[in-house]
A and B are shown apart, each in its own frame.
Chain A
Amino acid sequence: MRIALFVTCLADTMFPQAAKATVLLLERLGHEVVFPDGQTCCGQMHINTGYQPEAVPLVRRHARIFDAYDVIVAPSGSCVGTVRQQHAMVARRAGDERLASLAESVAARTYELSELLVDVLGVTDVGAYYPHRVTYHPTCHSLRVLRVGDRPLRLLREVRGLGLVELPAAEQCCGFGGTFALKNADTSTAMLADKMHHVLSTGADVCTASDSSCLMHIGGGLSRLRTGVRAVHLAEILASTEQPGTAGAQSRSAVTR
């Protein structure tokens, strides 16, 4: 299958290993991945901070570029959530009904990675090997906007060598929330403290999720406390094999203060 990668600006710029892992994983499963030129950002930060008119050109750019593809994937629950739930709304608020229908059409073809694997490609065993104790944080937008359910867990359970441990209070938000982490830094920090407490209580050495943004938040907190527990994107785990040099094994854990 020919699959267009919507890399997301955060993965592109800060967490390329998650996007690379998505490409390598899909290619290993026998699919062709294309990277449409001209893509930048879905506008989630603008929309969720109240800058909807500013987001309109980004919605138009995204819809125009990705309309050429039948299947689109992004390694981010929240960016897929924005495309699916907010792009048409932003277009309608700006009075652009044509853009709204185009955005709806693109949204219907856009999948988060675990949705693509399980629902479209029909696989749960992706042939991965990852010898670590892992706990999974179901990010709010994957859980409640996309309703990915247990798809990521079904994928993780098939990974050889992986010890999956349940995260207490898993469904509680980690406190990131985009600009919430800046505007309400103290509350965000209090929520992060509880999330880290639960992650550490599992004894896992890796916390995974399908959103680089939440992982940046949780990983940044774990790093600050020098816990040694790493935040690793689900795509990196699924891309890892026993071959040396696969994406997961290269996962960058160095984070500076």
Chain B
Amino acid sequence: MPATAPAGVGQLRGEEPFPAAARRSLADPQLRRNLRHATTTIRGKSAAVIAEAPDWEQLRAAGAAVKADTIARLPELLEQLEAKVTEAGGVVHWAADAVEANRIVTDLVRAAGTDRIIKVKSMATQEIGLNEALDSAGITPVETDLAELIVQLGGDRPSHILVPAIHRNRAEIRDIFLRAMPGVDPSLTDDPAALAAAARHYLRKTFLSTPVAVSGANFAVAETGTLAVVESEGNGRMCLTLPETLITIMGVEKVVPTWRDLEVFLQLLPRASTGERMNPYTSMWTGVTPGDGPQAFHLVLLDNGRSAVLADEVGRQALWCIRCSACLNVCPVYERTGGHAYGSVYPGPIGAVLSPQLTGVAENTSLPYASTLCGACYDACPVKIDIPELLVHLRAEVVESRRRPTAESIAMAAAAHTMDRVGWYEAAQRAARLSRLAGRRGRGLPPPLNGWTVSRDLPDAPAETFRDWWARR
């Protein structure tokens, strides 16, 4: 069995189980308002532009087919990618896990002779905790995506794949800027244009004075060794073109076989993600070009548990994910708890299936249960990842990963035993009626059954079951 992502580095595990972390978020009315407003807005935008695409279902099917094919022959495609990147003047590094990836990047930045880098928004670098690793090596990483910058300056954690600062409103953002942004005008208001201008002013100086950039990648085309980043703000393009050295960290699943495959994903991703027909900036680069753009290019191919996911025939479809966040925006659980409750940089439904697989389910046992299996995520997914199926699959793995019986496993085994014997089943029905006569009526149930009566009444067991009525007819 391939190794899972190591503990103690990066951000794939929470400090507490989902229900406990969720309880704290649920108690914050401002957070709930911010989340509801943001997810409702983005859902509406996305639904409108998806409705304009008459071939949306065919596009989804094509996206799923390309991903299934890619994941099925991942080693071959990665070797092709490596050969093409090298041919074009880039250097490819293979990182087995977060520790190795952080070390590779730190060494590269040191070799470039700088103590500050600029960053393009990247989930892979969040996953491995690159900023923390660089900080402890005396290197300052500066996030250039506006929302990531808000999170970084706020000493906060991202809570959404696409909109990391979704949990913040503009008054909170103004306070963060005033407190933490170097050189900010003290008379800054919370007008969105003024906030954007302040960030722009600060970032421009940074872009022009920093020689190394670190990016992620949305796609890597195996046939030519081309990397692609799609974004909305243009900060990414600045990072990808201005510095002398560019380091890209990419989860191995981001490779696609050919340029033609991009045609599918460049339609699917923006509509599902930001609710745009086309993302404003699509940047692509192949190795290095003398006299134009970065003169040194390094590609770090990150495993960090992905081989373990690949080894699971059912679970591997989580690797199809293109990080659009559509599943977060439609998930009724995410809408109420927010991203921090998931404890991982991958929140929401995809996080509930991806994080436990990357870490091994035994280290993330509460996440596969952080869903009602309502299925909204599956319908929203532009590459048709069957998230409910994966959740059920992972729940079985969680149960099987336990060494000792629990109160739940004993109750479940007893219930199954009873349900498989009609006489016992009918006796249990009679017992349910007796509890009614005894006046217990759902109160005083042992945990976790008492969770029901937090907010809901329990109906009385009726005097006559259906099968009694049927027998009497």
The answer on a CB contact under 8 Å between A257 and B457 is yes
Which A residues are CB-close (under 8 A) to B399? 49-51
Q: Is A248 an interface residue (CB 8 A)?
A: no
Q: For the complex, is B419 an interface residue (Cβ under 8 Å from A)?
A: yes
Judge whether B196 is part of the interface by a CB distance below 8 angstroms: no
With A and B bound together, what is the CA distance between A172 and B448 in angstroms?
25
Contact of A40 among B420, B441, B460 (CB under 8 A): B420
Contact A51 B416 (CB under 8 A): yes
Provided the pairs A12-B467, A93-B396, A186-B19 are in contact, do residues A46 and B416 lie with their beta carbons within 8 angstroms?
yes
- In the complex, the answer to whether B457 meets A223 with C-beta atoms within 8 Å is yes
Contacts of B462 in A (CB 8 A): 14-17, 252
User: In the complex the two chains form, what is the Cα distance from A239 to B432 in whole Å?
Assistant: 27
Within 8 A of B (CB), among A177-220: 177-193, 216-217, 219-220
Whether A184 contacts B19 by the Cβ 8 Å rule is yes
| B332 touches A (CB below 8 Å) | yes
Query: Is B407 an interface residue when CB atoms closer than 8 A count as contact?
Result: no
Contacts of A93 in B (CB 8 A): 396
Chain A nearest CB from B111 CB (Å) reads 48
In chain B, positions 359-415 with a C-beta closer than 8 Å to chain A are 368-376, 378-379, 389, 392, 395-400, 408-409, 412-413, 415
Report the nearest A residue to B447, measured CB to CB. Answer: A182
**Which residues in B have their C-beta under 8 angstroms from that of A182?**
448-449, 451-452
What is the CA–CA distance of A45 and B408 in the complex, to the nearest angstrom?
12
Q: Is the CB of A51 within 8 A of B409?
A: yes
A237 at the interface (CB under 8 A from B): no
Residues in chain A near residue B395, CB distance under 8 A: 48-50
Contacts of A108 in B (CB 8 A): none
| Size band of the interface chain A makes with B | 35 or more
Residues of the B chain whose Cβ atoms lie less than 8 Å from the Cβ of A11: 466
Contact B441 A256 (CB under 8 A): yes
In Å, the complex CA distance between A132 and B337 comes to: 36
Using known A-B contacts A20-B466, A50-B398, A140-B374, determine if residue A191 contacts B429 with beta carbons closer than 8 Å: no
Residue A96 is within 8 A (CB to CB) of chain B in the complex: no
Chain B contacts with A in 330-381, Cβ cutoff 8 A: 332-333, 336-337, 368-376, 378-379
**Residue in chain A with minimal CB distance to B24:** A186
- Cβ contact within 8 Å between A190 and B457: no
A178 to B451, CA, bound (A): 12
* Interface status of A228 (Cβ within 8 A of chain B): no
CA distance in complex: A185, B412 (Å): 19
**Nearest CB in chain B: distance from A62 CB, A:** 10
- A191 CA to B455 CA, complexed, in Å: 11
Chain A residues, Cβ within 8 Å of B459:
14-15, 216, 219-220, 252, 255-256
Q: Within the assembled complex, what's the spacing in Å between the Cα atoms of A217 and B372?
A: 13
Q: A14-B461, A181-B456, A183-B369 are in contact. List 19 more A-B contacts (CB 8 A).
A: A7-B466, A12-B429, A12-B466, A13-B429, A13-B461, A16-B465, A20-B469, A49-B399, A50-B398, A57-B420, A58-B420, A171-B376, A178-B373, A180-B372, A187-B337, A191-B372, A220-B459, A255-B460, A256-B460
- Chain A to chain B contacts (Cβ below 8 Å), 5 pairs: A43-B416, A58-B420, A180-B371, A220-B455, A223-B456
Those 5 A-B pairs whose CB atoms lie nearest each other, nearest first: A177-B372, A220-B456, A185-B451, A50-B395, A144-B375
